[in-house]
Protein backbone atom coordinates (compact mmCIF):
# COMPACT_ATOMS: atom_id res chain seq x y z
CA UNK A 1 0.00 0.00 0.00
CA UNK A 2 1.38 3.43 -1.00
CA UNK A 3 1.76 5.94 1.80
CA UNK A 4 -0.31 9.13 1.41
CA UNK A 5 1.16 12.48 2.44
CA UNK A 6 -0.98 15.05 4.30
CA UNK A 7 -1.12 17.24 1.18
CA UNK A 8 -2.19 14.30 -1.00
CA UNK A 9 -4.74 13.28 1.61
CA UNK A 10 -6.25 16.76 1.51
CA UNK A 11 -6.45 16.51 -2.30
CA UNK A 12 -8.24 13.18 -1.97
CA UNK A 13 -10.72 14.78 0.45
CA UNK A 14 -11.16 17.43 -2.24
CA UNK A 15 -14.12 19.73 -2.08
CA UNK A 16 -15.94 17.70 0.61
CA UNK A 17 -14.08 19.57 3.37
CA UNK A 18 -13.54 22.88 1.59
CA UNK A 19 -15.81 25.77 2.53
CA UNK A 20 -16.20 29.51 2.25
CA UNK A 21 -15.99 31.55 5.44
CA UNK A 22 -16.52 35.33 5.25
CA UNK A 23 -15.52 35.21 1.59
CA UNK A 24 -12.34 33.22 2.27
CA UNK A 25 -11.82 29.71 0.95
CA UNK A 26 -10.86 27.29 3.73
CA UNK A 27 -9.23 23.99 2.71
CA UNK A 28 -10.85 22.33 5.76
CA UNK A 29 -13.20 23.57 8.51
CA UNK A 30 -10.38 23.52 11.08
CA UNK A 31 -8.94 26.80 12.41
CA UNK A 32 -5.86 26.96 14.65
CA UNK A 33 -6.79 29.30 17.48
CA UNK A 34 -5.11 32.50 18.60
CA UNK A 35 -2.49 32.07 21.28
CA UNK A 36 -1.98 28.37 20.59
CA UNK A 37 0.36 28.60 17.59
CA UNK A 38 2.19 31.86 18.24
CA UNK A 39 2.40 34.02 15.11
CA UNK A 40 2.05 31.12 12.72
CA UNK A 41 5.63 30.39 11.80
CA UNK A 42 6.34 28.57 15.08
CA UNK A 43 3.91 25.75 14.31
CA UNK A 44 5.54 24.98 10.99
CA UNK A 45 8.45 23.54 13.01
CA UNK A 46 6.27 20.63 14.11
CA UNK A 47 7.47 17.65 12.11
CA UNK A 48 4.70 16.24 9.95
CA UNK A 49 2.43 19.32 10.10
CA UNK A 50 0.95 20.60 6.84
CA UNK A 51 -1.06 23.77 6.32
CA UNK A 52 -3.21 21.70 3.95
CA UNK A 53 -4.84 20.23 7.06
CA UNK A 54 -6.31 23.53 8.26
CA UNK A 55 -8.51 26.22 6.80
CA UNK A 56 -6.95 29.14 8.66
CA UNK A 57 -4.50 30.15 11.38
CA UNK A 58 -5.35 32.84 13.95
CA UNK A 59 -2.25 34.74 15.01
CA UNK A 60 -1.45 35.65 18.61
CA UNK A 61 -3.33 38.55 20.18
CA UNK A 62 -1.76 41.86 19.16
CA UNK A 63 -1.94 45.29 20.78
CA UNK A 64 -0.72 48.68 19.57
CA UNK A 65 2.37 48.82 21.80
CA UNK A 66 4.57 45.85 22.79
CA UNK A 67 3.53 43.98 25.94
CA UNK A 68 5.58 41.77 28.25
CA UNK A 69 2.54 39.95 29.60
CA UNK A 70 1.72 38.69 33.08
CA UNK A 71 4.05 37.31 35.75
CA UNK A 72 4.53 33.52 36.13
CA UNK A 73 2.85 31.14 36.48
CA UNK A 74 0.95 31.77 33.29
CA UNK A 75 -0.38 28.28 32.54
CA UNK A 76 -1.65 25.51 34.81
CA UNK A 77 -3.32 22.21 34.01
CA UNK A 78 -6.71 21.64 35.64
CA UNK A 79 -9.11 18.67 35.56
CA UNK A 80 -10.16 18.27 31.91
CA UNK A 81 -8.73 21.66 31.04
CA UNK A 82 -6.11 24.35 31.28
CA UNK A 83 -5.96 27.82 32.80
CA UNK A 84 -3.86 30.49 31.12
CA UNK A 85 -3.14 34.14 31.81
CA UNK A 86 -0.43 35.08 29.32
CA UNK A 87 -1.37 38.74 29.40
CA UNK A 88 -1.21 39.39 25.65
CA UNK A 89 2.57 39.27 25.41
CA UNK A 90 3.37 40.50 21.89
CA UNK A 91 5.83 42.77 20.04
CA UNK A 92 3.19 45.31 18.98
CA UNK A 93 1.18 45.69 15.77
CA UNK A 94 3.84 47.46 13.71
CA UNK A 95 6.42 44.74 14.48
CA UNK A 96 3.96 41.99 13.59
CA UNK A 97 3.18 43.60 10.23
CA UNK A 98 6.74 44.50 9.30
CA UNK A 99 8.76 41.66 10.85
CA UNK A 100 6.47 38.63 11.15
CA UNK A 101 3.92 38.70 8.32
CA UNK A 102 6.63 38.75 5.59
CA UNK A 103 7.82 35.35 6.90
CA UNK A 104 4.41 33.72 6.39
CA UNK A 105 3.46 31.99 3.15
CA UNK A 106 -0.04 33.25 2.34
CA UNK A 107 -0.32 30.72 -0.46
CA UNK A 108 -0.49 27.88 2.07
CA UNK A 109 -3.50 28.90 4.17
CA UNK A 110 -5.48 31.89 5.41
CA UNK A 111 -3.96 33.96 8.22
CA UNK A 112 -6.21 35.89 10.61
CA UNK A 113 -4.90 38.68 12.85
CA UNK A 114 -6.19 38.90 16.43
CA UNK A 115 -6.72 42.49 17.58
CA UNK A 116 -6.76 43.42 21.25
CA UNK A 117 -6.87 46.72 23.10
CA UNK A 118 -7.70 48.58 26.27
CA UNK A 119 -9.64 51.40 24.57
CA UNK A 120 -11.93 51.63 21.54
CA UNK A 121 -9.36 53.88 19.92
CA UNK A 122 -6.62 51.25 20.31
CA UNK A 123 -8.78 48.58 18.68
CA UNK A 124 -9.43 50.93 15.76
CA UNK A 125 -5.76 51.84 15.30
CA UNK A 126 -4.50 48.25 15.44
CA UNK A 127 -7.17 47.25 12.93
CA UNK A 128 -6.08 50.08 10.63
CA UNK A 129 -2.47 48.87 10.83
CA UNK A 130 -3.51 45.33 9.85
CA UNK A 131 -5.75 46.70 7.09
CA UNK A 132 -2.58 47.88 5.35
CA UNK A 133 -1.08 44.37 5.34
CA UNK A 134 -1.55 41.05 3.52
CA UNK A 135 -3.52 39.56 6.43
CA UNK A 136 -6.68 37.77 5.21
CA UNK A 137 -9.07 38.73 8.02
CA UNK A 138 -9.17 40.31 11.46
CA UNK A 139 -10.48 38.72 14.65
CA UNK A 140 -11.54 41.16 17.36
CA UNK A 141 -10.83 39.98 20.89
CA UNK A 142 -13.47 41.92 22.84
CA UNK A 143 -12.73 40.11 26.12
CA UNK A 144 -10.10 42.71 27.02
CA UNK A 145 -10.72 45.12 29.95
CA UNK A 146 -11.82 48.66 29.09
CA UNK A 147 -9.47 50.92 31.07
CA UNK A 148 -11.82 53.90 30.63
CA UNK A 149 -14.70 52.01 32.26
CA UNK A 150 -12.95 50.70 35.36
CA UNK A 151 -11.64 47.49 33.81
CA UNK A 152 -14.98 46.01 32.70
CA UNK A 153 -14.42 43.69 29.75
CA UNK A 154 -15.71 45.09 26.45
CA UNK A 155 -17.22 41.70 25.59
CA UNK A 156 -19.45 41.57 28.67
CA UNK A 157 -21.52 44.52 27.47
CA UNK A 158 -23.46 44.47 24.19
CA UNK A 159 -23.14 48.25 23.97
CA UNK A 160 -19.38 48.28 24.38
CA UNK A 161 -18.98 45.26 22.10
CA UNK A 162 -20.88 47.06 19.36
CA UNK A 163 -18.77 50.19 19.80
CA UNK A 164 -15.58 48.21 19.28
CA UNK A 165 -16.94 46.41 16.21
CA UNK A 166 -18.16 49.68 14.69
CA UNK A 167 -14.77 51.32 15.25
CA UNK A 168 -12.93 48.38 13.66
CA UNK A 169 -15.43 48.36 10.77
CA UNK A 170 -14.50 51.98 10.03
CA UNK A 171 -10.84 51.02 9.90
CA UNK A 172 -10.94 48.11 7.44
CA UNK A 173 -12.72 46.46 4.54
CA UNK A 174 -11.22 43.08 5.46
CA UNK A 175 -13.51 40.45 7.00
CA UNK A 176 -14.15 41.10 10.71
CA UNK A 177 -14.68 38.14 13.06
CA UNK A 178 -15.84 39.04 16.56
CA UNK A 179 -14.70 36.69 19.33
CA UNK A 180 -17.52 36.53 21.86
CA UNK A 181 -17.07 36.04 25.57
CA UNK A 182 -19.13 33.45 27.47
CA UNK A 183 -18.83 35.57 30.62
CA UNK A 184 -21.96 37.64 29.92
CA UNK A 185 -25.68 37.57 30.54
CA UNK A 186 -27.09 37.32 27.00
CA UNK A 187 -24.68 36.24 24.26
CA UNK A 188 -27.48 36.29 21.67
CA UNK A 189 -28.19 39.98 22.29
CA UNK A 190 -24.46 40.73 22.10
CA UNK A 191 -24.28 38.91 18.76
CA UNK A 192 -27.24 40.90 17.43
CA UNK A 193 -25.62 44.21 18.35
CA UNK A 194 -22.31 43.17 16.78
CA UNK A 195 -24.09 42.22 13.54
CA UNK A 196 -25.73 45.65 13.44
CA UNK A 197 -22.30 47.22 14.00
CA UNK A 198 -20.82 45.42 11.00
CA UNK A 199 -19.22 42.13 12.01
CA UNK A 200 -18.84 39.54 9.23
CA UNK A 201 -18.46 36.50 11.46
CA UNK A 202 -18.14 35.23 15.02
CA UNK A 203 -15.74 33.08 17.03
CA UNK A 204 -17.68 31.39 19.86
CA UNK A 205 -16.46 31.14 22.59
CA UNK A 206 -13.51 32.74 24.30
CA UNK A 207 -12.30 31.18 27.54
CA UNK A 208 -14.29 31.03 30.78
CA UNK A 209 -12.70 32.73 33.76
CA UNK A 210 -11.37 30.41 36.47
CA UNK A 211 -8.90 29.94 39.29
CA UNK A 212 -6.59 27.25 40.69
CA UNK A 213 -5.22 27.36 44.26
CA UNK A 214 -2.04 25.95 45.75
CA UNK A 215 -3.32 24.81 49.16
CA UNK A 216 0.18 24.47 50.66
CA UNK A 217 1.11 28.05 49.78
CA UNK A 218 -2.49 29.24 50.17
CA UNK A 219 -2.10 31.29 47.03
CA UNK A 220 -3.51 31.20 43.51
CA UNK A 221 -1.31 29.16 41.18
CA UNK A 222 -1.66 31.68 38.35
CA UNK A 223 0.49 34.77 38.85
CA UNK A 224 -2.41 36.93 37.70
CA UNK A 225 -4.65 35.16 40.29
CA UNK A 226 -7.19 34.16 37.65
CA UNK A 227 -7.04 32.96 34.06
CA UNK A 228 -8.99 31.72 31.08
CA UNK A 229 -10.22 28.13 31.26
CA UNK A 230 -10.08 26.10 28.04
CA UNK A 231 -10.20 22.43 27.07
CA UNK A 232 -12.84 19.69 27.39
CA UNK A 233 -14.19 21.15 30.65
CA UNK A 234 -15.84 24.03 28.78
CA UNK A 235 -17.20 22.09 25.78
CA UNK A 236 -20.85 21.81 26.97
CA UNK A 237 -20.93 25.56 27.65
CA UNK A 238 -19.34 26.35 24.29
CA UNK A 239 -21.80 24.14 22.41
CA UNK A 240 -24.78 25.92 23.97
CA UNK A 241 -23.31 29.36 23.24
CA UNK A 242 -22.69 28.42 19.58
CA UNK A 243 -26.30 27.23 19.33
CA UNK A 244 -27.59 30.46 20.90
CA UNK A 245 -25.52 32.70 18.61
CA UNK A 246 -26.55 30.66 15.58
CA UNK A 247 -30.21 31.40 16.31
CA UNK A 248 -29.41 35.09 15.79
CA UNK A 249 -26.71 34.85 13.12
CA UNK A 250 -28.32 32.45 10.65
CA UNK A 251 -30.92 34.95 9.42
CA UNK A 252 -28.07 37.30 8.49
CA UNK A 253 -25.89 34.50 7.04
CA UNK A 254 -23.14 35.34 9.53
CA UNK A 255 -20.82 32.30 9.94
CA UNK A 256 -19.42 31.05 13.24
CA UNK A 257 -16.12 29.48 14.25
CA UNK A 258 -17.19 27.15 17.07
CA UNK A 259 -14.52 26.51 19.68
CA UNK A 260 -14.06 25.20 23.19
CA UNK A 261 -12.79 21.73 24.08
CA UNK A 262 -12.64 20.18 20.61
CA UNK A 263 -10.42 17.09 20.75
CA UNK A 264 -11.95 14.70 18.22
CA UNK A 265 -13.92 14.57 14.99
CA UNK A 266 -17.05 13.81 17.03
CA UNK A 267 -16.53 17.07 18.94
CA UNK A 268 -16.11 18.99 15.68
CA UNK A 269 -19.28 17.47 14.21
CA UNK A 270 -21.24 18.42 17.35
CA UNK A 271 -20.24 22.06 16.95
CA UNK A 272 -21.21 22.10 13.28
CA UNK A 273 -24.58 20.52 14.05
CA UNK A 274 -25.10 23.30 16.62
CA UNK A 275 -24.47 25.96 13.98
CA UNK A 276 -20.71 26.40 13.52
CA UNK A 277 -19.41 26.72 9.95
CA UNK A 278 -15.83 26.08 11.07
CA UNK A 279 -14.27 24.74 14.27
CA UNK A 280 -11.36 26.04 16.31
CA UNK A 281 -8.58 23.77 17.56
CA UNK A 282 -6.61 25.05 20.55
CA UNK A 283 -5.79 23.31 23.81
CA UNK A 284 -5.67 19.86 22.18
CA UNK A 285 -2.65 21.00 20.12
CA UNK A 286 -0.54 21.14 23.27
CA UNK A 287 -0.61 17.39 23.79
CA UNK A 288 -1.30 16.18 20.23
CA UNK A 289 0.24 18.63 17.74
CA UNK A 290 -0.97 16.59 14.75
CA UNK A 291 -4.56 16.22 15.96
CA UNK A 292 -5.93 18.11 12.93
CA UNK A 293 -5.09 15.20 10.66
CA UNK A 294 -7.10 12.83 12.86
CA UNK A 295 -10.05 15.22 13.06
CA UNK A 296 -10.22 15.71 9.29
CA UNK A 297 -10.13 11.96 8.73
CA UNK A 298 -12.86 11.47 11.33
CA UNK A 299 -15.10 14.10 9.74
CA UNK A 300 -14.66 12.42 6.36
CA UNK A 301 -15.60 9.08 7.89
CA UNK A 302 -18.72 10.62 9.45
CA UNK A 303 -19.80 12.12 6.12
CA UNK A 304 -19.34 8.75 4.41
CA UNK A 305 -21.15 6.85 7.19
CA UNK A 306 -24.18 9.12 6.96
CA UNK A 307 -24.06 9.57 3.18
CA UNK A 308 -23.59 13.34 3.51
CA UNK A 309 -22.14 15.00 0.41
CA UNK A 310 -20.35 17.98 1.94
CA UNK A 311 -19.22 19.17 5.35
CA UNK A 312 -21.29 22.35 5.02
CA UNK A 313 -24.43 20.20 5.01
CA UNK A 314 -23.82 19.64 8.72
CA UNK A 315 -24.12 23.31 9.66
CA UNK A 316 -27.09 23.94 11.93
CA UNK A 317 -28.72 20.61 11.10
CA UNK A 318 -29.37 19.75 14.74
CA UNK A 319 -32.87 18.37 15.30
CA UNK A 320 -34.20 19.42 18.69
CA UNK A 321 -36.19 17.11 20.91
CA UNK A 322 -39.93 17.72 21.06
CA UNK A 323 -41.22 19.73 24.03
CA distance 11 to 154: 42
CA distance 36 to 57: 10
List 22, 36, 58, 144, catalytic entry: 144
Q: What is the CA radius of gyration of the chain?
A: 19
CA distance 208 to 38: 21
Alpha-carbon distances of 169 from 182, 185, 194, 221, 223, rounded to whole Å:
23, 25, 11, 39, 35
Q: Is 168 tagged catalytic?
A: no
DSSP code at position 11: H
CA distance 262 to 231: 7
Please enumerate in sequence order all residues whose Cβ is within 8 A of that of 167, keeping only pairs 6 or more positions apart, or say none. 120, 121, 123, 124, 127
CA nearest to 174, candidates 226, 109, 110: 110
Alpha-carbon distances of 73 from 76, 208, 212, 214, rounded to whole Å:
7, 18, 11, 12
The catalytic site residues sit at 144
Amino acid sequence: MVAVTPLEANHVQGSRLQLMFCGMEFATPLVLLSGCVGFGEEYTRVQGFSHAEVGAVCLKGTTLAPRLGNPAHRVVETPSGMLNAIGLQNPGAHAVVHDILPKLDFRETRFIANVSGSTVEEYEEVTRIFDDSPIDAIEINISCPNVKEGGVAFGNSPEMSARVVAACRRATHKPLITKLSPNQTDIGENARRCIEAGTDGFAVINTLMGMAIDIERRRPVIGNNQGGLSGPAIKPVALLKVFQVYQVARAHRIPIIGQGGILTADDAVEFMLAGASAVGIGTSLFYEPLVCREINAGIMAYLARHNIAHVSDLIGSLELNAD
